[in-house]
Amino acid sequence: MSAVLTDPLLASLVPAHGFGTRDALPPEPLVRPKQVHGDRVVDALVCRAAAQPPEADAIVSAESEFAIAVVTADCVPILLSAPDGAVVAALHAGWRGLAAGVVAAGVAALLARAGCSGAACLAAIGPHIGPCCYEVDEPVLAALDAGLGAPARAAARATRPGHARLDLGALCRAALRDACLPEAAIGTTAAVCTACDPRRFHSYRRDGPRSGRLVHFIRAAPRG
């Protein structure tokens, strides 16, 4: 049984978080949206109260009674916390979500809820497919270019005509910096490649539609 991965930086504020591995057991209860590769953010209480999980790729919570989560199999999971750990967020960012602006939307919702600035927040980037294993084609690059501009091209390394290796983690860091998070506030110790490590991680690119999903969770600290 492999354990969840934690981020030392984020752990200083929010002990109750983890990036999933293949057979790690997430905590219960767990509240998560129906992910659709968009930029919509849902509140944890709204999500929990809904008969069917609402469509969203980011969830924000101030509840210490239950954890919130996103699931991935190559896309980037991002866990976020306000300065006191009392408001947290979980984001699912693949190339479609990144192009749509899910990172900016998720951080904005967290800041609005916590009443703080991005400069005071912490983020942690979890396991996702690395540029070592992630070649994309021109339509993907064009969509990212349209949505994100210069950082999109900077995260791509040309391979063969019409293709490039894409660094999704670098795109996430750029989007977080755009939201005013300092580089030093972005933890990357858990940002390892899912496709390179079949023992620990599910990978859609490697395993196809039968791939499982990794569960990444965070629970707000009780208010002082």
Looking at residue 203, its amino acid is: S
Instruction: Give least dist CB 195 to Zn ion, A.
Output: 5
The mark string for 192-221 relative to Zn ion (x by CB under 5 A, - otherwise) is -x-xx-------------------------
Strands (E), the chain: 17-18, 30-31, 41-43, 58-61, 67-72, 76-81, 88-93, 122-125, 135-137, 156-158, 163-166, 186-187, 214-218
Whole-number Å distance between alpha carbons of 119 and 115: 12
Tokens linked to 211: 């791939």
Among 9, 133, 180, 192, interactor with Zn ion by CB under 5 A: 133
- The stretch among 124-132, 136-144, 166-174, 212-220 that binds Zn ion (CB under 5 A) is 124-132
In the bound state with Zn ion, the residue whose beta carbon lies nearer, of 20 and 85, is 20
The least CB distance from residue 28 to Zn ion, in Å, is 31
**Residue with smaller CB distance to Zn ion, 134 or 217:** 134
Q: Is 16 strand, coil or helix?
A: coil
Nearer to Zn ion, 120 or 196 (CB): 196
Which lies closer to Zn ion via its Cβ, residue 64 or residue 189?
189
Q: 156-195: which residues touch Zn ion (CB under 5 A)?
A: 193, 195
Tokens of 121: 């927040």
94: CB partners within 8 A, 6+ apart? 37, 72, 74, 75, 76, 168
- Quote the Cα angle for 169-175-179, to 5°: 140
> Least CB distance from residue 15 to Zn ion, whole Å?
30
Exactly one of 50, 132, 142, 154 binds Zn ion (CB under 5 A); which one? 132
Both structure tokens of 150: 């210069």
CB of 191 to Zn ion, least distance (A): 12
Q: Does 76 bind Zn ion (CB under 5 A)?
A: no
Contact call for residue 130 and Zn ion (CB under 5 A) = yes
Footprint on this chain of Zn ion (rule: CB under 5 A)? 130, 132-133, 193, 195-196
